[in-house]
């Protein structure tokens, strides 16, 4: 009996001590460097939350995110997951992934920083108070769970074909085009395939729905005024090159370059040869899918970020409460965990690039973060380039296009936005379309 009591004490005492230490540890990190995400903050107490049970649910999430030695436990968990891989020559596992590419990577600058510029060329903002209330709805819609395949030292998101969501996305683009200020504005649609589509091991590739068929299905439902861009073939022809990260769900800048060549060919324009660019590299990089999987194999073989330096003089301004001038390739992110944030400085509500090319051409890219590595290649072709992230944009998009005299619209998003309605719902909210 005494031995039984001793076992109970040996189990309870460490838990009690950890609880006390956790309670009295004053300085807890706000960001998990290992998982590359913001940790939960202490919830605000209200009687409404108390009686609904929401307060205790939020506090449980806060406690789990801020437990003492949490980073160590998460690291150990990742090592244990590696031991669970399927047996055989190939090291394979499947991991659940929350959020996918619907939630934006927040990179909000201060309103009064040293990079502030005067408020010029800012279109009138709609006084839409409902949008602030809708942000809660947007946030709720971003909790979309996907799956990630870890194959040897590479992590890849698994695509799930959804005919209804694919048509919903195409229908939105059609409706968007119909609401443009004039019918002379050209609208392009580029859906980026992901790495899993091009792996040669069919037993693992078949875990993901065929992306070529999904893209074709979307294109089939686009109206005759919408011009599809075939980036798929350009990427497939160069799959032996380093066009996708192994630790991140994005393409590399080289992959984005091949998509750019497809866009130029669609427009019957000549792309600039890649050899004209000076290249800078940043290493090591462990991206979003490493943060999801914490795979030791990926950690041992980190990625390199290759940066193709812009060829033209330009000015790049992003807009929050105040406009802020930043670098197109923002090297402040080179020291951060999220080095993909170098491209465009991450995701912002909207930005404007003004180049020295005086040809009067203006384009707007409505996009997810796949476009961030793509946009810099457009500089030789346009006088003004506007970049809009529907996850954060709060202006009237059609007024914005009219006021700025924009002649081309490019929707550039990766194929997983068709897995569900979440991202298209954000596009509809941004556009005030039903």
DSSP characters over 257-278? HHHHHHHHHHTT-PPPPGGGS-
| 3-class secondary structure, 332 | helix
CA distance 194 to 16: 47
Rg (CA), the chain: 23
- Cα angle 402, 311, 237 (rounded to 5 degrees) comes to 90
Q: What is the structure's pLDDT at 184?
A: 95
Q: What is the structure's pLDDT at 146?
A: 75
Q: What stretches of 123-240 adopt beta strand conformation (E)? A: 145-151, 154-158, 186-192, 226-229
Question: What is the CB-side half-sphere exposure of residue 220 using CA atoms within 13 A?
Answer: 9
Query: What strands, in cross-sheet order, belong to the sheet with 323-325?
Result: 226-229, 186-192, 408-414, 362-367, 384-388, 350-355, 314-319, 323-325
Q: What is the structure's pLDDT at 250?
A: 98
Tens digits of per-residue pLDDT, 177-199? 999 999 999 999 999 999 999 99
* 365 strand-pairing partners: 387, 410
CA dihedral sign, ordered 422, 425, 427, 430? negative
Between the two ends of the chain, the Cα-to-Cα distance in Å is 69
Alpha-carbon distances of 234 from 263, 272, 309, 311, rounded to whole Å? 10, 15, 22, 23
Contact predicate 398/405, CB 8 Å: no
Residue-level length of the chain: 434
Q: What is the structure's pLDDT at 329?
A: 98
- Residues 6 or more apart from 389 whose CB is under 8 A from it? 104, 347, 348, 349, 350, 367, 368
Q: What is the structure's pLDDT at 75?
A: 58
In the chain, % helix, strand, coil (3-state, to 5) comes to: 40, 20, 40
Phi and psi angles of residue 146, each rounded to the nearest 5 degrees, phi first: -120, -170
Mean pLDDT in consecutive groups of 10 residues from the start of the chain, 434 residues: 65 64 57 55 74 72 60 57 52 64 48 38 39 38 64 94 98 98 96 97 94 99 98 98 98 99 98 98 95 89 98 96 95 94 97 97 98 98 98 95 98 98 96 92
* 350 strand-pairing partners: 319, 388
Tens digits of per-residue pLDDT, 260-301? 999 999 999 999 999 999 999 999 999 999 988 888 899 999
pTM: 0.78
């Amino acid at each position: 009996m005494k031995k039984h009591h001793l076992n109970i004490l040996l189990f309870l005492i460490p838990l009690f001590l950890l609880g006390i230490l956790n309670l009295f540890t004053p300085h807890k990190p706000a960001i998990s460097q290992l998982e590359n995400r913001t940790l939960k903050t202490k919830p605000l107490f209200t009687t409404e939350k108390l009686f609904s049970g929401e307060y205790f649910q939020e506090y449980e999430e806060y406690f789990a995110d801020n437990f003492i030695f949490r980073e160590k436990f998460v690291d150990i968990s990742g090592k244990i997951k590696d031991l669970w891989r399927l047996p055989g020559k190939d090291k394979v596992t499947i991991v659940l992934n929350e959020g996918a590419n619907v939630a934006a990577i927040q990179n909000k600058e201060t309103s009064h920083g040293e990079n502030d510029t005067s408020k010029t060329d800012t279109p009138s903002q709609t006084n839409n108070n409902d949008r602030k209330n809708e942000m809660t709805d947007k946030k709720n819609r971003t909790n979309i769970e996907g799956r990630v395949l870890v194959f040897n030292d590479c992590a890849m998101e698994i695509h799930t074909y959804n005919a209804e969501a694919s048509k919903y996305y195409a229908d939105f683009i059609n409706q968007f085009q119909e609401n443009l200020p004039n019918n002379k504005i050209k609208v392009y649609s580029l859906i980026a395939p992901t790495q899993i589509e091009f792996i040669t091991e069919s037993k693992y590739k078949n875990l993901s729905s065929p992306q070529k068929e999904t893209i074709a299905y979307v294109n089939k439902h686009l109206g005759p005024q919408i011009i599809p861009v075939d980036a798929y073939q350009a990427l497939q022809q160069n799959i032996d090159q380093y066009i996708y990260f192994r630790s991140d769900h994005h393409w590399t800048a080289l992959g984005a370059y091949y998509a750019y060549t497809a866009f130029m060919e669609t427009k019957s324009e000549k792309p600039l040869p890649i050899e004209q660019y000076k290249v800078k590299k940043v290493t090591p990089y462990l991206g979003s899918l490493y943060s999801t999987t914490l795979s030791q194999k990926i950690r041992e073989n980190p990625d390199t970020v290759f940066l193709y330096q812009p060829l033209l003089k330009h000015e790049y301004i992003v807009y929050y409460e105040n406009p802020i001038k930043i670098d197109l390739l923002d090297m402040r992110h080179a020291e951060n965990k999220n080095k993909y944030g170098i491209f465009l400085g991450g995701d912002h509500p909207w930005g404007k690039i003004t180049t020295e090319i005086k040809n009067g051409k203006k384009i707007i890219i409505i996009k997810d973060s796949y476009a961030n590595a793509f946009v810099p290649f457009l500089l030789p072709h346009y006088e003004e380039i506007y970049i809009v992230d529907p996850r954060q944009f709060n202006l009237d998009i059609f007024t914005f296009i009219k006021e700025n005299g924009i002649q081309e619209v490019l929707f550039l998003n990766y194929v997983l936005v068709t897995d569900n309605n979440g991202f298209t719902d954000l596009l509809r909210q941004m556009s005030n379309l039903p």
